[in-house]
């Protein structure tokens, strides 16, 4: 199994550990993740790699190379895209500890998380063009919530590797830390998040300016909100 799952104090910890395939993300990984999201009871999610220098090299190219029909790869990409979109919208805080290099689909995987903590030595490569492709797992749509469309286009056209600090400057990641510290900082952020009320998080993550009024209407006087208001009665 390429992904290992652990539930620690209701934090679902996902560890990518297929070093023989440079932590490529496969169709089976997507199926395993989808299953785990269905059965797990968790209030936060942390994703990490078991290797200090490899986070995710992208799609499982051996699988695609061995496919006899183009439809096989297209169907696999559609399934992976659907599962990653589900991860992106999961109604709990999520963080990723990027301790190693991420290329192609690995960047699309990074785009699924609320908090991206990256170590200073990491390279981030939007290099799909090097294999004559573009995004295929919904990564462009997700990244455009962090980075402007024109910047994403220029990065895709250049197909170059970005340093951790360049990634932060463009907005692909949120925080750059020293070697071996990404998991610690990602977990600290998650611990802070679970200290807040869970009620508004789905609206915060999935809402937009157009839904602001309907969102607040549905949240108003939720149990946590009522508890906080009670403190101000007759004060």
Q: What is the mean pLDDT of each run of 10 residues along the chain (235 residues)?
A: 94 94 92 96 97 87 61 84 96 97 95 98 90 86 93 90 96 97 98 91 82 86 84 74
Cβ atoms < 10 Å from Cβ of 168: 18
d(CA 78, CA 187): 31
Q: How many residues does the chain have?
A: 235
The CATH number that applies at residue 103 is: 3.90.226.10
Which DSSP category does 208 fall into? -
Looking at the fold, whether 223 and 157 belong to one and the same domain comes out as no
- What is residue 59's predicted lDDT score, i.e. its pLDDT? 80
Overall domain count for the chain: 2
Looking at the fold, whether 31 and 137 belong to one and the same domain comes out as yes
Looking at the fold, whether 108 and 220 belong to one and the same domain comes out as no
- What is residue 29's predicted lDDT score, i.e. its pLDDT? 95
Looking at the fold, whether 114 and 224 belong to one and the same domain comes out as no
Q: Give the global pTM.
A: 0.91
- Chain CA centroid to CA 142, Å: 9
Judge whether 235 lies within some domain.
no
Provide the domain limits for residue 221.
197-230
Looking at the fold, whether 79 and 142 belong to one and the same domain comes out as yes
For the chain, give percent helix, strand, coil, nearest 5: 50, 20, 35
d(CA 197, CA 187): 18
Look up tokens 């395939």; give the residue. Answer: 21
Judge whether 24 lies within some domain.
yes
Looking at the fold, whether 90 and 201 belong to one and the same domain comes out as no
Beta strands 101-103 and 54-56 are parallel
Looking at the fold, whether 150 and 62 belong to one and the same domain comes out as yes
Looking at the fold, whether 114 and 218 belong to one and the same domain comes out as no
């Amino acid at each position: 199994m390429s992904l290992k799952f652990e539930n620690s104090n209701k934090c679902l910890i996902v560890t990518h550990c297929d070093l023989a395939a440079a932590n490529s993300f496969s169709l089976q990984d997507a199926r395993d993740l989808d299953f785990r999201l269905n059965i797990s009871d968790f209030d936060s999610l942390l994703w990490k790699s078991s290797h200090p220098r490899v986070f995710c090299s992208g799609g499982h190219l051996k699988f695609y190379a061995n496919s006899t029909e183009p439809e096989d790869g297209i169907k696999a990409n559609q399934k992976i895209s659907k599962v990653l979109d589900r991860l992106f919208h999961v109604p709990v805080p999520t963080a990723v500890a990027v301790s190693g290099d991420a290329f192609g689909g690995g960047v699309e995987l990074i785009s699924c998380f609320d908090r991206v903590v990256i170590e200073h030595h990491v390279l981030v490569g939007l290099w799909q063009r090097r294999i004559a492709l573009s995004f295929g797992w919904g990564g462009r749509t997700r990244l455009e919530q962090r980075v402007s469309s024109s910047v994403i286009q220029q990065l895709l056209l250049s197909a170059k590797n970005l340093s951790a600090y360049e990634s932060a400057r463009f907005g692909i990641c949120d925080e750059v830390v020293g070697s071996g510290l990404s998991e610690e900082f990602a977990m600290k952020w998650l611990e802070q998040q679970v200290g807040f009320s869970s009620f508004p998080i789905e609206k915060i993550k999935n809402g937009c300016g157009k839904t602001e009024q309907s969102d607040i209407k549905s949240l108003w006087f939720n149990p946590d909100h009522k508890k906080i208001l009670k403190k101000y009665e007759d004060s």
